Each structure stands twice: as structure tokens, then as C-alpha cells.
Amino acid sequence: MATLEIGGIDCKRLAEISGTPLLIYDEAKIEEQLAAATENFQSQRFETEVVYAAKAFSCKAIFEKVRQAGAGLDVVSGGELYCAHQAGMPMEKVYFHGNNKSEEELRMALELGCGTVVLDNDMECRKLARLAEELKKPIQVLLRVNPGIEAHTHEYIRTSGSDSKFGISIAKKNEIKALVNIAMLSDYVQFKGFHSHIGSQITEAAAFEEALAIMLGFIREMRDGYNISTKHLSIGGGFGIRYTADDKPIPLGEMAEILARTCERLLDEKGVRLEKLLIEPGRSIVGEAGYSLYKVGFSKDTDTKHFLFVDGGMSDNIRPALYQADYSCDIANRLGEAKNKTYCIAGKNCESGDILIKEAKLPDTACEGDLLVMYATGAYGYSMASNYNRAGRPEVIFVKDGKARRVLKRESYEDQLRLEADEPLSL
């Protein structure tokens, strides 16, 4: 009976040392994905930049890997910005996104020397210009526009329809012109170009190629009709990964190569130029590198189901409950045994919807004390984790070449009480 090894280490040993639920990252896989993106996203015609979307998974250790790979970082909150700064990320490579950044957050971005703010609307542009002048801090900006593509993915993670809360519709050219003018009038705000993001877990290149064609056509119209010159274009992230055998995503390196070549071809077709093209992968950098390790507890049979209960659930991975996301799994200590029984893998959170995998084929010997591994949980698992039912966030470890290191400690009961207070407010 074989046991799963990750980074050359037996999972049983990792569970013994660190306990469960445990999130394990295969560091080499993260490095491979960062290299696949940066090495294949290249052009002789324009600069390129790969910007890691921190929302997929953020901590100092992952930012360190991003920095080492020479990639940039996409942050969407003061918290991510702060963590990036604390991790020693070169701030000029940080892109600050979000549809409702607060004044404090914008101020913080300027003070920390954040390179680029990705503007969402004209109110934000005015506020940023005012703050940049007050603080005498220069800042580059991109404007997020909405190319109106409905990518084939779950509706919650589709972002680019014309009613999206993000960005300005590219049909609203006068509004866009007015916003760019606000930026141009400021001595501190430097307008660089446009940003678009069409959705997430998109497995084919076609939607991105379409977005590129629309965006480059739009850039030409803004040049010819509105005298706006665009230097940079980001086409966002959203590159899909393999959660189950049904997913057949284009590998990230190939996708990056296709996008660089498509952009070169479209520049000629549309008769425009670009100084720089950017992509913002999040999920595809960390998703498949992550393994969630749970301990199997009780089990129960109903008339139609065989439940296996694990010691985590929607508090550490809300994706199945929120998006009906599918995952695959194994009993990590029973690899090689015939998978001859269908189980329903349920978590321990107090909610009927706390089902991690509806139907999982596993050996019929699966029992209390076994280790269940869920694959490809590295993106949007930990970063969307909660303390629902006062569950502590799991420990996170990085493994590579037979060595392991803890990068995030398990959240203890005391940790959860650290925000408790009983303080009168002076009114």
C-alpha cells in the first residue's frame, strides 16, 4: 500500500508533524508555473510582464517566490499591499486593483511607492490625483475597461459582462476620454493604458484572443478618435487549471506563448503599437501546486450515500459550496488500492451544504484515521478561508526536495480570541 509523497516527503509524516487539516504546497510546481509564464510570455516587439494575482494565495513566502521569478504582483486591498511591502516585494512592480479602494488604501499605496494603480472609475481617478498631489508622490495608472465578453465559467467569477461591477464599458468612450483627461491634468498621475479581465478558470485561448482583438481595436479607436495614446495593456488573468480529469486546460506556458504571438499579429492587423503587454495569472500559478490533507473521522451510510467525514470543510475551502466546484481526491495512505466505492466527502462545518466532493471513487477500505488528500486546492482555498464555527485556518507548509518548512502557522483558539474586546467607546 503506497502513500502519497509530495516534494519527496511521505504525507503521513507531514500529518504527524503538522497535524490536519494541512495545506501543502509543492514549491517546485509553483516555480515551474512562474517560469512557464515568464519564459514563454516574451516578444521582440514589446515588453512583457507577468503579474501574480495575490488573491489566489498570499503570504510572505509566496511573494518571495514571485519576487525571485522577477514577476510583478497584483493586489486588491490594503492588507495584500501591506503583506507585499512586508515581504520585500519591489513596490514599483505592484499593481493595485479594486472597484472601491478607500482613501486610506490609496494613500497607503502612494506612500509605499506602489508602481501602478488600476483605476476602476472617474471618482477614483479624481481622488487619486488629489492625493498624489497632496503627498507629492508619482503614480502610474491603468484604466480597467470592460470588453463585454461573457467567458464560459461560473457566473460569480465571470467579470466582463456589460453589467459587471468592475471597470467602465468600452462602449463609453466619452467617459473614458474624460477620465484620462483627469489623469493627464495631474503632474503626478501618469496614464499608461488599459486593463481588462474577462473571468476566471477559462481553459481555452479563444476568449483571451477575442479580448485581445477587442482591446487592440479599442486602443486604435481611442488613438484615432480621442487622441489617447496607450502604452501598456493588461489582459488580466483567468487561465484555467485541472481540478478533475474533465478539465483540459491549455498549459500556462502554451497559453502565454499564444497570447504573445496573438498580440504581435493583432498589432499589425489593427495598426497599433504597444510598449508593454501584461498578464495576471493567479490560480494557474498556485492552484495545482496545493494539496489539502484531511484526516478521515466518522463515516455513515444513508439510503443513497456513503458519507466520509473529514476534519476540515467549507471553512478552509468554500469553493465547492460557493461555486459547485469539482475536485478530485485520494486516500493518501491507500494509493494503488482499487477505487471500488463511491463516497460523499463531507466537512465538519455546521451546514448541510458543507460537502467537499459529492461523488468520489475511493477504496472500500477507507476508514477512520486515514488521510484524505484533495488535489489542486492551492488557489482560492486558504485565501477564502473563514473562521466559520470558529474553525482555525489550517497550517500551510512548502515542501521541496525532501525538505519542508512551515510558512503559515495553524490558527489556534487563542489566535481567534485575539480580537475580543470589552472597551467603552469615548463618544
Residues annotated as binding site for pyridoxal 5'-phosphate? 238, 280-283, 380
Tell me which of 7, 72, 78, 236 binds ligand LLP, using CB under 6 A.
236
Tell me which of 97, 270, 393, 400 binds ligand LLP, using CB under 6 A.
97
Residues 303-342 that bind ligand LLP (CB under 6 A): 319, 323
Tell me which of 380, 382, 391, 396 binds ligand LLP, using CB under 6 A.
380
Residue 135 phi/psi, 5-degree rounding, is -90, -10
Q: To the nearest whole angstrom, how small is the minimum distance from the Cβ of residue 333 to ligand LLP?
A: 28
Choosing from 125, 344, 350, 367, the catalytic residue is 350
Residues 155-174 that bind ligand LLP (CB under 6 A): 157
Question: Helix 252-270 to helix 206-226 angle, to the nearest 10 degrees?
Answer: 30
Instruction: Give the CB-side neighbour count of residue 158, counting CA atoms within 13 A.
Output: 13
Residues 389-418 that bind ligand LLP (CB under 6 A): none
Q: Quickly count: other Cβ atoms within 10 Å of residue 299's Cβ.
A: 16
d(Cα 183, Cα 231) in Å, to the nearest integer? 15
Q: Is residue 74 involved in binding ligand LLP (CB under 6 A)?
A: yes
| 329 catalytic per annotation | no
d(Cα 15, Cα 295) in Å, to the nearest integer? 9
Q: To the nearest whole angstrom, how small is the minimum distance from the Cβ of residue 238 to ligand LLP?
A: 4
Tell me which of 197, 232, 270, 348 binds ligand LLP, using CB under 6 A.
197
Tell me which of 7, 193, 253, 282 binds ligand LLP, using CB under 6 A.
282
d(Cα 357, Cα 334) in Å, to the nearest integer? 18
The most distant pair of C-alpha atoms in the chain lies apart, rounded to whole Å, by 70
Q: Is residue 284 involved in binding ligand LLP (CB under 6 A)?
A: yes
Q: Is residue 101 involved in binding ligand LLP (CB under 6 A)?
A: no
**How many residues in the shown chain lie near ligand LLP by CB under 6 A?**
21
Contacting range for ligand LLP; rule: CB under 6 A; set: 16-24, 48-56, 243-251, 258-266: 48-56
Tell me which of 238, 253, 320, 378 binds ligand LLP, using CB under 6 A.
238
- Tell me whether residue 55 or residue 93 sits nearer to ligand LLP (CB atom): 55
Contacting range for ligand LLP; rule: CB under 6 A; set: 64-72, 183-191, 196-204, 345-353: 196-204
Instruction: Give the CB-side neighbour count of residue 400, counting CA atoms within 13 A.
Output: 11
d(Cα 218, Cα 224) in Å, to the nearest integer? 10
Q: Is residue 277 involved in binding ligand LLP (CB under 6 A)?
A: no
d(Cα 394, Cα 378) in Å, to the nearest integer? 13
Write down how long the chain is. Answer: 427
Strand partners, 6: 9
Query: Comparing C-alpha atoms, which of 172, 178, 166, 149 is closest to residue 97?
Result: 166
Q: Is residue 290 involved in binding ligand LLP (CB under 6 A)?
A: no
- DSSP element (H, E) containing 218: helix 206-226
Strand partners, 293: 22, 373
Contacting range for ligand LLP; rule: CB under 6 A; set: 49-57, 250-258, 266-274, 366-374: 49-57
Q: To the nearest whole angstrom, how small is the minimum distance from the Cβ of residue 316 to ligand LLP?
A: 13
CA distances to 112, 176, 330 from 208, in Å: 33, 22, 34
Contacting range for ligand LLP; rule: CB under 6 A; set: 4-12, 28-36, 209-217, 276-284: 276-284
- Tell me whether residue 72 or residue 281 sits nearer to ligand LLP (CB atom): 281
Instruction: Let me know: does 73 contact 93? Beta carbons within 8 Å.
Output: yes
Tell me which of 22, 34, 56, 376 binds ligand LLP, using CB under 6 A.
56
- The secondary structure of 142-164 as a DSSP string is EEEEE-----SS-GGGB--STT-
Residues in binding site for substrate: 283, 319, 323, 351, 380
Q: Is residue 146 involved in binding ligand LLP (CB under 6 A)?
A: no
295's grid cell:
484526516
- Tell me whether residue 238 or residue 253 sits nearer to ligand LLP (CB atom): 238
Residue 134 phi/psi, 5-degree rounding, is -60, -45
d(Cα 194, Cα 143) in Å, to the nearest integer? 5
Q: Is residue 281 involved in binding ligand LLP (CB under 6 A)?
A: yes
- The secondary structure of 22-37 as a DSSP string is EEEEEHHHHHHHHHHH
Which positions touch ligand LLP (CB under 6 A)? 53, 55-56, 74, 97, 157, 197, 200-201, 236-239, 280-284, 319, 323, 380
Would you name the residues annotated as active-site residues? 350
